[in-house]
Amino acid sequence: MSATMTRNSDITIKALQAVGEEDAEYLVSLIGSTPGFPKDGIIFRDFMPVLADARGLDILLRGFAAALPIDPSDFDTVAGLESRGFLFGPALASRFGKGFVAIRKAGKLPPPVFTESYDLEYGSASVEIEQNAIHPGERVLIVDDLIATGGTARAGADLIEKAGGHVAGFSFLMELDGLNGYAKLSEAPISTLIAMPA
């Protein structure tokens, strides 16, 4: 751990409590914080040590599974948002016998694709999905590591709908308090495992 990285006492355990207090606290102890990265005023939350720790990874996947916002019978596919949704989305999909679909940053997939743009603090960005990735009427659980303002998740949901699918729910590892990201995702149930200050 670098000298500037600290462990967190400001993380609130939410749905992660479904795995039990001891395991929840163990997982949170693995998440690092680096103030001033990537720029001043930002605290970078690093959950990569969770993935590198066998117990931590098991707790994370059990947490996602236990805290699903919907019953596994109510979705057909898991979609992961680039890039960290790719890290646990396939494992979660496999746990429930579902397929996995990647929602990628623009320019990473061969055509034909559906594209959706969204606003950033300074400018805009786009995400894409292959046009044949979702079957009409398919029910999709969208997963990602973090919900902040909700822009990326909203764009991902719009892509699923553009492809003919239905967004069944959203599942996030972390949420940033006070940014009201849920307001953009009001059409489907949402779960988050932990919360922290923005």
Place of tokens 């005023």: 41
Joined together, the tokens standing for residue 115 give 């594209």
- How many C-beta neighbours within 10 Å does residue 164 have? 13
Catalytic residue check, 139: no
Query: From CA 129, how far away is CA 180, in angstroms rounded?
Result: 26
- How many C-beta neighbours within 10 Å does residue 9 have? 7
Sign of the CA dihedral running 147, 125, 166, 134: negative
**Three-state secondary structure readout of 48-104:** HHHHHCHHHHHHHHHHHHHCCCCCHHHCCEEEEECCCHHHHHHHHHHHCCCEEEEEE
Catalytic residue among 21, 55, 116, 121: 121
Catalytic residue among 45, 84, 104, 154: 84
Question: Do residues 50 and 60 touch, judged by C-beta distance below 8 A?
Answer: yes
Catalytic residue check, 62: no
Q: Which active-site residues does the annotation give?
A: 84, 121
